[in-house]
Amino acid sequence: MTESQHESQAIVRMRKLNKHFGSLHVLKNIDLEVMPGEVVVIIGASGSGKSTLIRCINGLEEFQDGHIMVDGKDLLPHGKGAKALQRIRTEVGMVFQQFNLFPHLSVRDNVTLAPLKVRGVTAAQAGESAERLLDRVGIRDQADKYPSQLSGGQQQRVALARALAMEPRLMLFDEPTSALDPEMIGEVLDAMRELAREGMTMIIVTHEMGFAREVADRVIYVHKGEIAEEATPERIFDSPQDERTRGFLARVL
């Protein structure tokens, strides 16, 4: 494969991305490419820029310099490319640390809302698809409840089903288990593992190193807004090359 063929197949391609919050240089010359079906895990200390990095991919953050292509559509500095952004948002699903469910809607209605509004499907189609997705994340029996009646782990699985209802080409996860009680982390990681197995393209920020080792095709270590090291999980966890990666792993493992 030539380099340009390889590039045109990437779902995400980030080139020399720079992002500032005022005088704070949060992302520094980030180059990142994600291929279809790849699972990329981003690790790094708190404040290193991980959230900002993935939020740039679906336009939740503007950047000052560089270029992002998502599924063939260009995002440009200073929020230029608004049309592309609308399309990107319908193709990129995101799950956050806080579940952000609509509290006044039932679980089922949380899942059907966006497809009904944006995809123009019928209520029957949306309802069937919601049942299927809730079944897939193991909470079909909770469809008529409201978010506040569910555990954190169940709420996060609703958030996952809701994102999947848009049939995304890419899923972004920002510390999806960090707000959960320990006994609920496993059920959310299981649902994500299953999604990875089915071939979903995923970019995941997590502190769950065991999970990262198991599901990642590639692990990226971000240090103070820079990609310090990028390699297979085996290589990152067993023989990190960069001193900064070694320091971080010594603190968290």
By CB under 6 A, name the binding residues for ligand ADP. 21, 24, 26, 44, 46-52
Residue 45 CB, nearest approach to ligand ADP (Å)? 7
Q: Are 174 and 147 in contact (CB under 8 A)?
A: no
Question: From CA 118, how far away is CA 116, in angstroms rounded?
Answer: 6
Determine, following the binding rule CB under 5 A, whether residue 48 of this chain makes contact with Mg ion.
Answer: no
What angle (nearest 5°) sits at the alpha carbon of residue 98, between those of residues 94 and 103? 95
CB of 247 to ligand ADP, least distance (A): 16
Judged by beta carbon, residue 47 or residue 247, the one nearer Mg ion is 47
Nearer to ligand ADP, 2 or 23 (CB): 23
Please report how close the Cβ of residue 236 comes to ligand ADP at its closest, in angstroms. 17
> Residue 48: which of Mg ion, ligand ADP, none does it interact with, CB under 5 to 8 A by kind?
ligand ADP
Least distance between ligand ADP and beta carbon 26 (Å): 4
Residues 135-194 that bind Mg ion (CB under 5 A): none
210 binds, among ligand ADP, Mg ion, none (CB under 5 to 8 A by kind): none
Considering only 51, 110, 156, 177, the residue that binds Mg ion (CB under 5 A) is: 51
Q: Which stretch in 51-59, 150-158, 212-220, 222-230 sits in contact with Mg ion by CB under 5 A?
A: 51-59
Shortest distance, CB of residue 3 to ligand ADP, whole angstroms?
Answer: 30
**Interacting residue ranges for Mg ion, rule: CB under 5 A:** 51
